[in-house]
Amino acid sequence: MERIFKLRPMEQVLVQFLLLAWALVVAIPFGLAFINSMKGSLGQVIRAPFSLPDSWQFENYAAAWEMANFSGYFMNSLIISVGTVAVAVLFSTMAAFVLARVEFRGNRTLFILFMIGVIVPLRLAMAPLFVVVQSLDLLNSLLGIILVQAASMMPVAVFILSTFFKHLSPEIEQAARVDGALPFQIYWKIVLPLVKPAIATVALLSFVSAWNEYLFPLLFLQDRSLYPLTLGLQEFQNEFAIQWHMMFAGLIIMMAPTLIAFLLASKAFIQGLTQGGIKE
């Protein structure tokens, strides 16, 4: 990150131009979806998709919420996302702490296995994963989706957290041991508070990944009452495909929680990505 601020003026202009261009690529589709979600009919969307609505129809959101049973889908997505964050953060912090701070036989091998998980996506192992979930009697349950989602995030989470743990000063742990602290007390009361930016980064990545996931719920859930928003939106599209303004309203409802989560955790998220560890 410091290297960016050492760039020459022309290089900084080029970097800022690229960042601005990328921001526009992301913001323009979102802006168009919001504008068209406020229009009163499909005709207005087709005639002038890039213009502002004649009158702002905020009631489209309430109508989309009721017509698509979004309340049920929204609650399922919330349970899956929050559960995934809790499981991924709890187990990845413990695994990363042991791998980064405790020397034992096989330590490096375990870390390499986690790194292979970063390179090889879990989707390549769908068939054996389905057999495992079925054998645990977790098919068609939110708990099964939570565990699968958390497992898919573990390699990245361990990679991010272990980098932070490795840069912590060993004197902190030594002082805690002298005071009689047990290993779990060192992990829970001493070390975890020092890696809050990394935990916030892992939590945000896990939340966004679980919230937007489509394939895992499609494979492991059959009961429509358990569908998250991603599958619910697909159902909504099948029933109301011609009402594009309502579809845009549904898309905005689906994207809103991830935007709010990023805004709330953006400071810690950026700090977690750029800091790369706590200096001794």
Supply the pLDDT for residue 123: 75
Helix (H) or strand (E) holding 82: helix 70-101
pLDDT in tens, the chain (280 residues): 555 556 788 888 898 899 999 999 988 988 998 998 888 887 888 888 888 888 888 888 888 888 777 888 889 999 999 999 999 999 999 999 999 988 888 889 999 999 998 888 777 888 888 999 999 999 999 999 999 999 999 999 999 999 888 888 888 888 888 888 888 888 888 888 888 888 988 999 999 999 999 999 999 998 888 999 888 888 777 776 677 788 888 888 888 888 888 888 777 777 766 665 444 4
Tokens representing 48 are 């002038």
Supply the pLDDT for residue 4: 54
Which residue's entry shows tokens 């829970």?
A: 188
Supply the pLDDT for residue 1: 52
SS3 at position 178: helix
Tokens representing 89 are 């953060």
Name which of 111, 115, 90 is nearest 102 in CA terms: 111
Tokens representing 138 are 């977790």
Supply the pLDDT for residue 180: 84
